[in-house]
Amino acid sequence: MGADISSFDFSSYLIKHRQSVESALDASLGPERPEQLREAMRYSLLAGGKRLRPILCLAACEFVGGNPDLALPTAVALEMIHTMSLIHDDLPAMDDDDLRRGRPTNHKVYGDAVAILAGDALLTRAFEMVALRSPGVSAESLLKVVGELSLLAGAPGLVGGQVVDLECEGKEVDLETLEFIHMHKTGALLKACVTSGALIGGASVEALNALSIYANGIGLAFQIIDDVLDVTASSDVLGKTAGKDVLADKTTYPKLLGLAASRKRANDLVAEAKAALEPWKMNAEPLLALADYITDRDR
């Protein structure tokens, strides 16, 4: 299912914004002490990846007519929160994983204690990026973004989703509970990326409402495809341990619905997400292409 983006070079768009994001991420953690903590933060933050979340932030800012350069510190902040969640999720007390993005997880290199503290430091640095390193953005907009990040990173978002996920290991879980976990562990971050970028770009209420529908759709679709890839892809392709959901006896979309129905559900969600942006179709090529990218990816 491809978007009508024949005149839009999505590959070049991704390369351009990835380069911008990578440079900003590198600059966000300069020479500071203690060195071991900085190294642990950089180890995970600069480990590569698709950078889908910060790019969504920049694309949402562009969508509403804003300057994506002004949203770059917030895009970095969102990737820091994402990285924190990965470091903490991989810990022995959580998902207990040894591989992330094709190399040893943070705690395997630096130990559990430093990994926890590196995640904590990235979380707090994220708020610093928004509040203190965002020149040219109004205080009113930054306050709204800080609110979005607070909700995302706490009990209403990532933390709440992780707790329910842990509670449900080895138990029968219905579709409603599974969607709660996915929308909080994965969807909340993607929604915050879109909303934050739009707020910095000066979005109207109508545009924010449409973007919320879009973000909810792609957020759940993203995790459904993750569930599918955990079953169908190898560890080498994923860059993390494949089959972990099965080993942990977690309920997933393929477990509840089967692979074919799971892929259909993801495709339907992406179609609904894209439909929400129909009134702004001329400005939406990057967001439409990013939506398709979520279901077409192989890792």
Digit-coded pLDDT (tens) for 248-284: 677 889 989 999 999 999 999 999 999 999 999 888 9
Q: Which CATH number fits domain 10-296: 3.30.70.270, 1.10.600.10, 1.10.443.10, 2.40.50.140?
A: 1.10.600.10
- Tens of pLDDT along 176-188? 999 999 999 899 9
Bridge partners, 103 (sequence order):
100
Cα angle for residues 81, 118, 95 (degrees, 5° grid): 70
* pLDDT over 90, % of the chain: 80
What whole-number distance in Å separates Cα of residue 170 and Cα of residue 250? 6
Q: What is the mean pLDDT of residues 113-131?
A: 98
CB 60 within 8 A of CB 201: yes
Q: What is the mean pLDDT of residues 151-174?
A: 92
- Tens of pLDDT along 6-65? 578 999 999 999 999 999 999 999 888 999 999 999 999 999 989 999 999 999 999 999
Query: Which helix H or strand E contains 19, and what residues bound it?
Result: helix 10-28
Is 2 a residue whose pLDDT tops 50?
no
Handedness of CA 151, 157, 158, 163 (dihedral sign): positive
CB-neighbour burial class of residue 48 (10 A; exposed 0-12, middle 13-18, buried 19+)? exposed
What's the Cα-to-Cα distance from 32 to each of 2, 27, 36, rounded to whole Å? 45, 12, 10
pLDDT at 138 (0 to 100): 97
Q: Say how far residue 88 (Cα) sits from the centre of its chain.
A: 15
pLDDT at 4 (0 to 100): 46
